[in-house]
């Protein structure tokens, strides 16, 4: 890695000192919109999608571009990925509403659990690392967890375009669980793996349907 663990945690310390009020605002906003979408998916899911889009954009700018680039040049690439995900979420919300917390699949419970975990993430992180040098909210890993959790609660198939970047970040950011001693990020590795397996299953299912529907040629 191009940085030490101390440098890594110092980024969070600077983030929390500079953006503490914004961090609290993001947490409250996500909590409110998640609660409303869980209560009435049809009415609130689209707004929650736009909140997610704004959160990914915040990560791209406030965390990656402003702070993480100071210790890791790859943060420019990470910021670009987060900006792309933000754009994809805006596109998805404008094109057709995604309806969260409406799945009839067993993964609904797992998805909802991940959503709750992402909101508890700042408090759980503080158990292993003293504030302010600890990841809180509005940073990449809890954002990816929140997104993966919500995608797993969708009624329809998970849109692959929306899922690829969260899965990629689950593998990149989740590596901090072992390399940088961030125990709260082990859950991100599990979440990304579950979503990746689900995407593969969807692709195989779609391929089987396509083969079955293909006309026979004599």
* 6-33: pLDDT as tens digits: 999 999 999 999 999 999 999 999 999 9
How confident is residue 213, by pLDDT bands cut at 50, 70 and 90? low
C-alpha dist (Å) from residue 128 to 32, 171, 179, 183: 27, 21, 15, 8
Residue 210 has pLDDT above 50, yes or no: no
Distance from the Cα of residue 52 to its chain's centroid = 9
What domain count does the chain have? Answer: 1
What does the DSSP 8-state code read for residue 62? I
Q: Is residue 94 part of a domain?
A: yes
Please choose, from the candidates 59, 77, 68, the residue with its C-alpha nearest in 3D space to the C-alpha of residue 3.
Answer: 68
Paired tokens of 129: 């690392």
Q: What is the mean pLDDT of residues 47-73?
A: 98
Q: Is residue 141 part of a domain?
A: yes
Q: Is residue 91 part of a domain?
A: yes
The H-assigned helical ranges of the chain are 5-39, 41-58, 75-95, 107-128, 140-152, 160-174, 176-179, 186-213
Domain span holding position 111: 5-208
Inter-axis angle of helices 160-174 and 75-95, nearest 10: 150
Place of tokens 């797992």: 110
Span 120-152, pLDDT tens digits = 999 999 999 999 999 999 999 999 999 999 999
Instruction: Return the pLDDT at 54.
Output: 98
> How many other C-beta atoms lie within 10 A of the C-beta of residue 143?
26
Residue 211 has pLDDT above 70, yes or no: no
C-alpha dist (Å) from residue 213 to 38, 47, 207, 210: 36, 37, 10, 5
Paired tokens of 81: 């990925």
What does the DSSP 8-state code read for residue 131? T
How confident is residue 97, by pLDDT bands cut at 50, 70 and 90? confident
Q: Is residue 181 part of a domain?
A: yes
Q: Is residue 48 part of a domain?
A: yes
How confident is residue 157, by pLDDT bands cut at 50, 70 and 90? confident
Q: What is the mean pLDDT of residues 154-167?
A: 93
Residue 208 has pLDDT above 80, yes or no: no
pTM score > 0.85 for this model?
A: yes
What does the DSSP 8-state code read for residue 158? P
Q: Which helix (H) or strand (E) segment is 40 a member of?
A: none
Q: Is residue 36 part of a domain?
A: yes
Q: Which of 49-63, 148-162, 195-209 has the highest mean pLDDT?
A: 49-63
Residue 117 has pLDDT above 80, yes or no: yes
Q: What is the mean pLDDT of residues 40-45?
A: 96
What is the Cα–Cα distance from 183 to 117, expressed in whole angstroms?
Answer: 13
The helix/strand/coil state of 65 is helix
């Amino acid at each position: 890695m191009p940085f030490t663990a101390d440098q890594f945690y110092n980024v969070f310390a600077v983030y929390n000192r500079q953006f503490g009020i914004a961090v609290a605002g993001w947490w409250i906003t996500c909590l409110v919109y998640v609660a409303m979408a869980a209560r009435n998916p049809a009415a609130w899911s689209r707004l929650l999608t736009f909140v997610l889009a704004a959160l990914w954009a915040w990560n791209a700018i406030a965390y990656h571009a402003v702070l993480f680039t100071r210790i890791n040049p790859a943060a420019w690439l990470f910021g670009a990925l987060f900006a792309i995900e933000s754009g994809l979420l805006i596109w998805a919300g404008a094109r057709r509403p995604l309806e969260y917390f409406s799945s009839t699949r067993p993964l609904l419970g797992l998805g909802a659990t991940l959503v709750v975990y992402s909101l508890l993430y700042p408090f759980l992180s503080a158990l292993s690392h003293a504030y302010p040098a600890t990841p809180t909210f509005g940073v990449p890993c809890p954002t990816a967890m929140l997104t993966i959790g919500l995608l797993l609660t969708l009624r329809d198939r998970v849109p692959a375009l929306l899922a690829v970047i969260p899965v990629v970040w689950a593998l990149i950011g989740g590596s901090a669980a072992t390399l940088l001693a961030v125990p709260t990020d082990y859950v991100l590795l599990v979440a990304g793996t579950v979503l990746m397996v689900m995407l593969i299953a969807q692709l195989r299912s779609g391929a089987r349907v396509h083969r079955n529907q293909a006309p026979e040629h004599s």
